[in-house]
Amino acid sequence: MKLPSIEHLIAHGRAAARRFPLALAAALVSAAAAFAGIDGGDEEPWVRLLATASLGLPLFIAITLLAERRGWSAVRAWAVRGLGLAVLAAFFWRWPAWSSDVRALRYFHLSAGLHLSVAVIAYLGVEEPRGFWQFNRALFLRFLLGAVYAVVLFAGLAVALAGIDNLLGVSVPGETYMRLWVLIAFVCHPWFFLAGIPDDFEGLDRRTDYPAGLRAFAQYVLLPLVTVYLVILTAYLVRVVVTRVWPSGWIGYLVSALATLGILSLLLIHPERERPDARWMDRYARVFWIAILPSTAMLQLAVWKRIAQYGVTERRYLLTVLAVWLVLIAIGYAVTRSRNIKWIPTSLAAVAFLTFLGPWSAYAISRRSQTGRLERLLAANGMLRDGRAVAAATRPTDDDRREITGSLEYLIRVHGTGSIDPWFDGGVASIDTIADGTGPSPRYVAAQRAGLIMGHLGVRPLEPGAGSSEYEHFAAAVAERARDIGGFEWALTGVDLRNSSHTVAGDEVIVTIGRESHILRIRRAGHAALVAPLDSLLARARRTRFPAGEGDPWIPPDSLRLDIEGPEAGARVYIEQLMLRTVDGIEQIESARGDVYLRWRDSVPP
């Protein structure tokens, strides 16, 4: 085989850049954002830019393929690319409003739809089944070949850099290897892939070649794996019927793997089904679509059981939709015996886009479901009357406390408190002193905010999923007078009292609280300067909480003040937030935050 010359590679690279300018620009911006993240600083804006730009790669490939296939003028093609830029701008703009979990899910959700669009968009409304398969075969093999090249190139250059570092004594920072991988993965591989995307659509439909390696991979690797999965799931179905035990939620992984490998195998062997001596493949395809239906039914039962118990979440919604899609596709192909494989990626792309936005989307329905579930739980326990949250007259059961806590934490973490804001006079902000606004919060903050809301309702939160574990949250009420900090030299404000390190007058000062010992220690330059137990403070805080009620977190500031005196130092600690967790009767301090005021009795520790 004649290897391509350097001139040939450069020519193909230039052609790819002219054909897919915005796709290549998206790859370059992705690499630049990754470089900036490696260099340090606040990574949040760079992750946001990286996610947005990487979505531009499949988006602009799809737009270019559609323009070429439809014969659009340059003006029309660039106008549609402008709409694509607007879509990316909207994604970039909405990013801060989503929680970290939703950001990742939305990214992969939209990315899946865009990549599926690349596979089908040039063949919408066009009946070229052989060309459709050859086009996607070319994309599949080009991507794999590019990945192999990228890994080998990176490994070779990384070894070369290590040799320069160790043999020649030229220092190579560790970040250089990461930058090298980013350059190869975000620029070289996409550029190589773009250069191999076919443009002769009519010629593809005339091709009849079928790589022998692809045939062997599909027949001798994928098909046996699919058979093994079908046997396992069928045996599990028999066990479910005999024992009458609901299917485990873990079944979702196995059914997903079965569907993915099975559909991939059918797509790869598709040209072989036209051969007269390969009729067994037609029978195999029909048997596969029929055999997967019981497994899909078990998956639906497992998901619906969780939904009935705990409501809809984004992942449960998407899993349900994909299971319904799989049932409809399986019935359609089993009944009609159709060989038109184009419907698989086309319908899946449509499902991805339809469930991404709108009141029927996974995110909107999950928010409504969890809000409605929380509303029913509060109303059933007398904590929601006439649309207003009120303190419970009687103690809810542990199961209800656990479910209320779980719903609150989910809403606060994933969607924020906007949906429950009208339940409180003055909004949630009137009782929630931890976060500003009603937006989503990180997981640990969501637990604390849920604790405040539960305290306002007169009950103590109970950790979801653990019957013997519960939370107790203390928060200092807003002080009506200035703090007395006279005589102290140094102030450490808003610090993590559980474990944090600070520099005071050139010395390292470490503040810690033992998780189970409840002992606060302040170390200066490695020396234990101050030690104080917190048991008396916790007892005082429980006595003085107001208004009186189980788990109510409002504590007078002086009740959460700790004065410590030692021969070498003195300190005054104001605890602002304190989270306790009781597990099997053992009380643990999960988090503590506040201000520390210090004075030294000598200039340096002994």
Q: What is the pLDDT of residue 265?
A: 79
Helix or strand or coil: residue 529? strand
Is 1 among the domain residues? no
Q: Give the torsion through C-alpha atoms of 129, 133, 136, 137, to 10 deg.
A: -160
Considering 182, 206, 230, which residue would you say is the last residue of a domain?
A: 206
Is 285 among the domain residues? yes
pLDDT at residue 245 greater than cutoff 50:
yes
pLDDT at residue 508 greater than cutoff 70:
yes
Domain that holds residue 131: 6-206
Residues 340 and 403 in one domain: no
Q: Residue 288 has which token pair?
A: 């596969």
d(CA 563, CA 439): 36
The H-or-E segment that residue 314 falls in is: helix 314-336
d(CA 198, CA 225): 31
Residues 320 and 392 in one domain: no
Residues 436 and 498 in one domain: no
d(CA 48, CA 403): 33
d(CA 264, CA 281): 14
pLDDT at residue 471 greater than cutoff 70:
no
Residues 81 and 170 in one domain: yes
Residues 46 and 189 in one domain: yes
Q: Residue 152 has which token pair?
A: 């080998």
Given the DSSP bridges, would you call strands 469-476 and 561-565 parallel, antiparallel or unpaired? Answer: unpaired
Q: What is the pLDDT of residue 337?
A: 75
DSSP 416-480: -STTTGGGSTT-GGGT--SSSSS----HHHHHHHHHHHHHHTT---B-TT-TTEEEEEEEEPPPS
Q: Residue 58 has which token pair?
A: 């499949």
Q: Residue 278 has which token pair?
A: 């390969």
For 72-100, the pLDDT digits (tens) are 999 999 999 999 999 999 999 999 888 88
Q: What is the pLDDT of residue 552?
A: 44
For 146-161, the pLDDT digits (tens) are 999 999 999 999 888 8
For 551-569, the pLDDT digits (tens) are 445 677 778 888 998 888 8
Please give the mean pLDDT across all residues of the chain: 82
Helix or strand or coil: residue 339? coil
**Cβ atoms 382, 393 nearer than 8 A:** yes
Q: Within the chain, what is the greatest distance between any pair of CA atoms?
A: 96
Is 481 among the domain residues? no
Is 342 among the domain residues? yes
Q: Residue 447 has which token pair?
A: 């637990």
Instruction: Return all residues near 521 (Cβ < 8 A) that are at least 6 apart.
Output: 510, 511, 512, 513, 514, 528, 530, 531
Q: What is the pLDDT of residue 24?
A: 93
d(CA 105, CA 316): 12
pLDDT at residue 34 greater than cutoff 70:
yes
Q: What is the pLDDT of residue 25?
A: 94
d(CA 74, CA 47): 33
**Secondary structure of 16-41 in the HEC alphabet?**
HHHHCHHHHHHHHHHHHHHHHHHCCC
Return left, alpha or beta for 494; rule: phi > 0 is left, psi -120 to 50 is alpha, else beta. left
Residues 69 and 199 in one domain: yes
Q: Give the torsion through C-alpha atoms of 292, 297, 299, 304, to 10 deg.
A: 160
| DSSP β-bridge partners for residue 574 | 561, 595
Considering 206, 240, 266, which residue would you say is the last residue of a domain?
A: 206
Q: Give residue 29's pLDDT band: very low, low, confident or very high (50, 70, 90).
A: very high
Instruction: Return all residues near 446 (Cβ < 8 A) that are at least 6 apart.
Output: 409, 412, 413, 440
Among 52-61, 80-89, 278-287, 304-313, whose mean pLDDT is lowest?
278-287
Considering 147, 180, 206, which residue would you say is the last residue of a domain?
A: 206
Residues 153 and 238 in one domain: no
pLDDT at residue 576 greater than cutoff 80:
yes
211 vs 514: which has the higher pLDDT: 514
Helix or strand or coil: residue 9? helix
Taking the CA atoms of the chain, what radius of gyration do you get in angstroms? Answer: 31
Could you give the angle at the alpha carbon of 410 between the alpha carbons of 409 and 411, nearest 5°? 95
Residues 246 and 289 in one domain: yes
Q: What is the pLDDT of residue 584?
A: 60
Q: Residue 577 has which token pair?
A: 């937030």
Given the DSSP bridges, would you call strands 554-555 and 469-476 parallel, antiparallel or unpaired? Answer: parallel
Is 518 among the domain residues? yes
Residues 529 and 395 in one domain: no
| Displacement of CA 510 from its chain's centroid (Å) | 34
Instruction: Return all residues near 400 (Cβ < 8 A) that are at least 6 apart.
Output: 377, 380, 381
d(CA 498, CA 510): 10
Residues 293 and 189 in one domain: no
For 543-555, the pLDDT digits (tens) are 776 544 444 456 7
Q: Residue 582 has which token pair?
A: 């009781």
| DSSP β-bridge partners for residue 508 | 503
DSSP 183-249: HIIIIIHHHHHHHTS---HHHHHH-----HHHHHHIIIIIHHHHHHHHHHHHHHHHHHHHHTPPPPT
Provide the b/e sequence for 238-257 (b: ≥16 CB within 10 Å): eebeeeeeebeeebbebbee
Is 446 among the domain residues? yes
Residue with tokens 């997903």: 256
**Cβ atoms 130, 208 nearer than 8 A:** yes
d(CA 208, CA 215): 14
Is 476 among the domain residues? no
pLDDT at residue 195 greater than cutoff 60:
yes
Residues 54 and 172 in one domain: yes
Q: What is the pLDDT of residue 396?
A: 82
Residue with tokens 């306790």: 580
Average pLDDT, integer, range 101-107: 89
State if pTM tops 0.75: no
| DSSP β-bridge partners for residue 519 | 533
DSSP 362-425: HHHHHHHHHHHHHHHHHHHTT-EETTEE---SSPPPHHHHHHHHHHHHHIIIII-STTTGGGST
Residues 455 and 592 in one domain: no
d(CA 419, CA 440): 12
Q: Count the domains in the chain.
A: 4
What is the C-alpha end-to-end distance of the chain, expressed in Å? Answer: 78
Is 316 among the domain residues? yes
Closest by Cα among 424, 427, 453, 423 to 438: 427
